[in-house]
């Protein structure tokens, strides 16, 4: 998504077998600099099934096992790729065999190296990652409830829960609220981005597209308001696309025209 918006992007992780070869070539064809570590085992395959009613069923395979040498190679690759003042997006579930505190340790290392971090994960990996105080996190409402131990019934409660994480050291908390848009909280701002009502064709990748929108705004030095507004419009444009198809800049600009921001702090 970022590469399609002309943002220089490097992807890394683990790839193996024929599926790994295909993924590598697919990324290169989309303008992404693919710097993955090759492993002996085959990369997994995830299947998304959407029925006529729009219900999504996910069949996710377990991640392949990695050797100690492959993990070391990945660590070396990450240190080589990341430069001071760059952004490192840490996304997805940790594979089997990986310590739950891997995100936490990596964020701590990034801070020491003047590298900014965005964490988009769930469960224990997200909970532990927060202890290292990433610059940005993007939970959905359910993940925010898990983190805080609260049941959130309305926007006000979402804002207060997000503020708790900011008070604990996270720079920016952006909460995906589905058709209700985004909530974004920092130490000095609390805003609600309202998005237009659109037909949902596929929700696959919508959260990742919001992450890309945030990084796009940061890359272009947008204000906080314009950054989260662009991210919300990107996510809204994405759900109107079939499968994992990316929205275009024009698609996002169209949604931007009907995307509004409410300054929640001043309102309350």
Asked if 239 and 198 count as a contact pair (C-beta separation under 8 A), the reply is yes
Is residue 208 part of the annotated active site? The answer reads: yes
Which segments of the chain does DSSP mark as H helices, in order? 17-29, 68-81, 102-112, 123-129, 141-148, 155-167, 206-219, 224-238, 249-256, 264-267
User: Among residues 156, 255, 241, which one has the least CA distance to residue 200?
Assistant: 241
Q: Which residue has the tokens 């409660």?
A: 157
Q: CA–CA separation, 224 vs 226, rounded Å? A: 6
Residue 11 phi/psi, 5° resolution?
-115, 140
Mutual orientation of helices 206-219 and 224-238 as an angle, nearest 10°? Answer: 150
The active-site residue out of 69, 120, 208, 251 is 208
Beta bridge partners, 15, equal 38
- What is the distance in angstroms between the CA of the first residue and the CA of the last residue of the chain? 35
User: Among residues 106, 139, 101, which one has the least CA distance to residue 13?
Assistant: 106
Asked if 262 and 202 count as a contact pair (C-beta separation under 8 A), the reply is no
Residues annotated as part of the active site: 208
């Amino acid at each position: 998504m970022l590469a399609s918006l002309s943002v220089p992007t490097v992807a890394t992780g683990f790839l193996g077998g024929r599926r790994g070869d295909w993924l590598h070539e697919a990324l290169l064809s989309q303008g992404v600099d693919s710097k993955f570590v090759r492993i002996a085992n085959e990369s997994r395959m995830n299947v998304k099934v959407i029925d006529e009613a729009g219900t999504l069923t996910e069949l996710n395979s377990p991640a392949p096992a990695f050797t100690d040498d492959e993990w070391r190679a990945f660590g070396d690759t990450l240190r080589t790729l990341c430069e001071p003042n760059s952004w490192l997006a840490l996304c997805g579930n940790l594979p089997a065999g990986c310590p739950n505190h891997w995100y936490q340790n990596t964020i701590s290392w990034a801070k020491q190296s003047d590298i900014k971090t965005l964490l988009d994960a769930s469960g224990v990996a997200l909970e532990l990652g927060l202890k290292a105080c990433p610059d940005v996190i993007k939970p959905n409402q359910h993940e925010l409830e898990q983190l805080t131990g609260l049941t959130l019934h309305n926007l006000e409660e979402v804002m207060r829960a997000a503020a708790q994480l900011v008070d604990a050291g996270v720079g920016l908390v952006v909460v995906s609220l589905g058709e209700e848009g985004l909530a974004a909280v920092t130490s000095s701002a609390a805003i609600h981005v309202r998005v237009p009502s659109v037909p949902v064709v596929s929700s696959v990748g919508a959260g990742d597209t919001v992450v890309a929108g945030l990084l796009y705004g940061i890359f272009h030095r947008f204000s906080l308001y314009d950054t989260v507004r662009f991210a919300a419009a990107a996510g809204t444009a994405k759900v109107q696309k079939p499968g994992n198809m990316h929205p275009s800049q024009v698609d996002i600009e169209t949604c931007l025209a009907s995307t509004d921001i409410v300054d929640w702090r001043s309102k309350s």
